Structure 1
Amino acid sequence: MIPVRGFDGAVVAVLGLGRSGLSAARALRAGGASVLVWDDNPAAREAAEAEGFEARTLTRPGAFDEVACLVTSPGIPHLYPAPNPVIAAALEAGVPVDNDIGLFFRSLGAGWEGYDRPPRVVAITGSNGKSTTSALIHHILTVSGRESQLAGNIGRGVLDIDPPGDGGVVVLELSSYQTELARALTPDVAVFTNLSPDHLDRHGGPGGYFAAKRRLFAEGGPDRAVIGVDEVEGRFLAGQLSEGQADDRVIRVATSKLSGPGWMVFARKGFLSEWRKGRQVGSIDLRAVAGLPGTHNHQNACAAYAACRALALGPREIETALHSFAGLPHRSQRIAEVGGVSYVNDSKATNVDAALKALLAFPKVRWVCGGLMKEGGLDALAPGLAHVSKAYVIGREAEGFALGLPGIETEVCRTMELAVARAAAEAQPGEVVLLAPAAASFDQYDNFEKRGEDFIAQVAKVAGAA
């Protein structure tokens, strides 16, 4: 646990008692704070009370009179589309609002005086690929013999980790919900993978969404910034952080060739290249890395490689670790091969951009797609539709989703069971049955993991019947 500093003897309120909220309450208490808690779920309140926390209705008059800070869980809206009533009451009372990420950064540096090498923090954000990039950085560090902990939006709650040891590295995946509100953001290395429209209602539009991501780089100023520059927002961010073309505090990452005197890592035709000061200093053939298929995963590999190079790892030890990376569940996860047909679970492709990258990774696809559609429509999928032999559409909005896919054959299946069965029956050797929904899962599943698990279960039925 990382005890929270700065609130010894103060009263702090915690809103939301899921994984991050309850761990924040424990860490605040370990740091000497008096902690009040609230969650709309009675069972969550009872669990917290069983640990000795006082539950208080935080919307009642005077609830914030003694409170020094409100700590809120990331899923609770604080601005758009409307503030949660508890957060609105805190703001009205002039009480600062923070989250567990902000508490982590303000509390991490205690007890490092005797270390030869101070611990480092690598923080990763972006629309797509941040989980794979985070896990890949952690994997490379671990295989290379470096102490590493993975936390934040993946792995453990950030305040649940052990205090890092001498030279240890904390790898944090951070969502826009987390970066938007944290009052302290001071990583040593910050990574921006890419940007595509997502969570726009929560951030009041694309500008607010980008601004939430940008805070990771603007609030504290990392020693090194790894920036994906395939989109205009990344190029803009890199330009804002850099003092000139040769400023190697910014490492530019792309899926096409880059040039110039700066530090850059790019993947072209399956080969990763590192250039610095106008000359190539590293190269890896990514085509042989089974756990990272497709251009989008090559971008993730470039970002992870750049972050590890910023931590002084060598190109060859990074390359060795890449080959043992198995990938993450529900992200380009190869499930089975039956009769020459491969089955790939990319349930995490919850938006159009992620699904497009998944389609482009395979030449012939039987595509299982659909779910709760997001703003912006499906037009951006057009470059990948040439790879689709047929789409099998699931979800409550299956008919409407299918209408948004002109020019390809579609079948409205609604359920995962029927979609997988139909795709398996029609797939030819060499094709891939790919779950890449391009939509949220909440119309049929609690989360994208449950959707992916259903796909895996249906593929197991197909494999058992073969």
Structure 2
Amino acid sequence: MIPVRGVNGARVAVLGLGRSGLSAARALRAGGAEVLPWDDNEAARAAAEAEGFAPADLTRAGALEGAAALILSPGIPHLYPAPNPVVAAAWAAGVPVDNDIGLFFRSFATEAWESFDSPPKVIAVTGSNGKSTTAALIHHVLAASGRDSQLAGNIGRGVLDIDPPGEGGAVVLELSSYQTELARALTPDIAVFTNLSADHLDRHGGLGGYFAAKRRLFAEGGPDRAVIGVDEDEGRFLANQMAEGPGDDRVIRVSAEAKLAGPGWSVFARKGFLAEWRKGRQVASIDLRGVPGLPGAHNHQNACAAYAAARCLGIGPREIERAFNDFAGLPHRSQLVAEAGGVRFVNDSKATNAASAARALAAFPRIRWICGGLEKEGGLGALTPHFGHVAKAYVIGREAAGFALHLRDLPHELCTTMAAAVARAAEEAEAGEVVLLAPAAASFDQYDNFEKRGEDFIAEVARVLQR
């Protein structure tokens, strides 16, 4: 645990008692704070009580009187589409609002670091798509090279649940826009931006607000190194904002679409080969085509970002290459779950928006595509250029007919349920094809989360193959 610093004797309110909220409550208590925890969910309050916390109803008038801060869980809106009433009450009372990420960054360094020859490093990864894989891959490379590394944030453990790192240790954080937009302290040593596509637009008041939330990690975080994907205008803008000139190697530009030129530092992938260039010369390359845990151009972009971050930490190209080849990938992200009769079954349930699903469609030449669910803002236009890879779509979800309207002339079948979609896709698939779950939609119309949806796909694939 990372005890929160500077709160001894203070009254600190915590709204939302899920993983991050309860973790924050524990760390605040360890730092000597009087914690005022609350959650509208009775089961969450009971879990807090079981750990010795006394819930305090923050929705009642005057509940924040005397509070030094309000710590907000990431799922609770603080501005758009409308402020949570407790947040509005904190504004009115002049109580600062923060989150567990802000607490982490202000509490991470301790007096013990003064005796370290090599202080711990924080690598923070954000972006729309690929941030989980990129963060996990960086962590894997560090561990494979013998570095003490911990993975936390939006993946793995809560940021305040990790162990205080020792000399030369590293903490790899995956940070969502919900986390970066509110944190009052953001000071990573290395910040990584993968890409940007329309997502969570209601939460951020539009695409500009969404990008602004991501940008805070760089503009307010002041990292020593910035690894920035430049395949969209937002990334190109951010790289330009961070660099002092063309040769500023504090900014490492990353691409999976183009060869990057110039006197600076860049890492890009073309036709399955990763190349590192510095000062106008190629200094290293890796063949990614046979790396089983990183299929497709979208994963090659993740590999480039992870490679750049690892190079910033002094890890050599050959060490990184060996670690890449040992990387198993993450569940629900281009996860190969079975192969039978020359047909592969791939679970990419995490492809919850059009841009991430488009990357999945681009990764395979001939696809039986399982798609559908709760549509997000931003539309499905990003998918259209990749329809040529799709032999047929099998649409799931309560609004399958509405989703199917976006497929235009693409052959498709309304299946509604995962069981029906997997059965039909498996029945019609031919050798060399991929049955791919890449929904391009949220899961909440039928499942609690994308993990449950992916698990259902895996179970149905197993059931079909056992027949």
Same fold (TM over 0.5): yes
Give the 3-state SS of the residue equivalent to 1:214 in structure 2: helix
1:85: how far off? 1.1
Distance 2:276 2:303 in 1: 12
1:359: how far off? 0.3
1:298: how far off? 0.2
The residue that corresponds to 2:17 in the other structure is 17
Distance 1:420 1:5 in 2: 51
The equivalences for 1:15-414 within 5 A come to 15-110=15-110, 111-255=112-256, 256-414=258-416
Distance 1:52 1:333 in 2: 40
The residue that corresponds to 1:457 in the other structure is 459
Distance 1:169 1:271 in 2: 28
Distance 1:50 1:389 in 2: 53
1:189: how far off? 0.1
Asked if the contact 2:396/2:418 (under 8 Å) is kept, the reply is: yes
1:50: how far off? 2.6
Give the 3-state SS of the residue equivalent to 2:115 in structure 1: coil
1:376: how far off? 2.3
Runs of 4+ in 1 over 4 A off after TM superposition: none
The equivalences for 1:428-439 within 5 A come to 428-439=430-441
Distance 1:351 1:44 in 2: 29
User: For structure 1, which runs of at least 5 residues remain unmatched after alignment?
Assistant: none
Give the 3-state SS of the residue equivalent to 2:161 in structure 1: coil
Distance 2:367 2:177 in 1: 31
Cα deviation per residue 1:433-454 (whole Å; 9 max; x = unaligned)? 0000000000000000000000
1:219: how far off? 1.1
Give the 3-state SS of the residue equivalent to 1:209 in structure 2: helix
Distance 1:399 1:61 in 2: 46
Distance 2:37 2:351 in 1: 34
Distance 2:50 2:388 in 1: 57
Cα deviation per residue 1:402-424 (whole Å; 9 max; x = unaligned)? 11111210100000000000000
Asked if the contact 2:199/2:378 (under 8 Å) is kept, the reply is: no
Give the 3-state SS of the residue equivalent to 1:5 in structure 2: coil
Give the 3-state SS of the residue equivalent to 1:54 in structure 2: coil
Cα deviation per residue 1:8-43 (whole Å; 9 max; x = unaligned)? 111000000011001100100101111111000112
Give the 3-state SS of the residue equivalent to 1:296 in structure 2: helix
Q: Which moved further from structure 2: 155-164 or 39-48?
A: 39-48
Distance 2:199 2:321 in 1: 32
Distance 2:438 2:61 in 1: 48
Cα deviation per residue 1:387-413 (whole Å; 9 max; x = unaligned)? 000000000110011111112101000
Distance 1:14 1:155 in 2: 21
Give the 3-state SS of the residue equivalent to 1:287 in structure 2: coil
Distance 1:280 1:376 in 2: 38
Scaled by the length of structure 2, the TM-score of the pair is 0.99
Give the 3-state SS of the residue equivalent to 1:273 in structure 2: strand
Q: Which amino acid aligns with 1:237?
A: L
Distance 2:422 2:51 in 1: 45
Distance 2:168 2:365 in 1: 44
Cα deviation per residue 1:355-379 (whole Å; 9 max; x = unaligned)? 0000000000000000001112222
Distance 1:407 1:257 in 2: 35
Q: Which amino acid aligns with 1:13?
A: A
Distance 2:429 2:52 in 1: 57
Asked if the contact 2:126/2:194 (under 8 Å) is kept, the reply is: yes
Distance 1:422 1:46 in 2: 44
1:221: how far off? 0.3
Scaled by the length of structure 1, the TM-score of the pair is 0.99
Distance 2:114 2:301 in 1: 37
Asked if the contact 2:194/2:305 (under 8 Å) is kept, the reply is: yes
1:305: how far off? 0.1
Q: Which amino acid aligns with 2:151?
A: L
1:119: how far off? 0.1
Distance 1:421 1:459 in 2: 8
Distance 1:232 1:294 in 2: 22
Distance 2:421 2:433 in 1: 16
Distance 2:59 2:417 in 1: 42
Q: Which amino acid aligns with 1:317?
A: E
Give the 3-state SS of the residue equivalent to 2:269 in structure 1: strand
**Identical columns (%):** 77
Distance 1:67 1:283 in 2: 54
1:52: how far off? 2.1
Q: Which amino acid aligns with 2:76?
A: I
Residues matched between the structures, number:
465
Distance 2:47 2:177 in 1: 28
1:44: how far off? 1.3
Q: Which moved further from structure 2: 59-68 or 440-449?
A: 59-68
Q: Which amino acid aligns with 2:85?
A: P
Distance 1:147 1:103 in 2: 22
Give the 3-state SS of the residue equivalent to 2:289 in structure 1: helix
Distance 1:281 1:17 in 2: 48
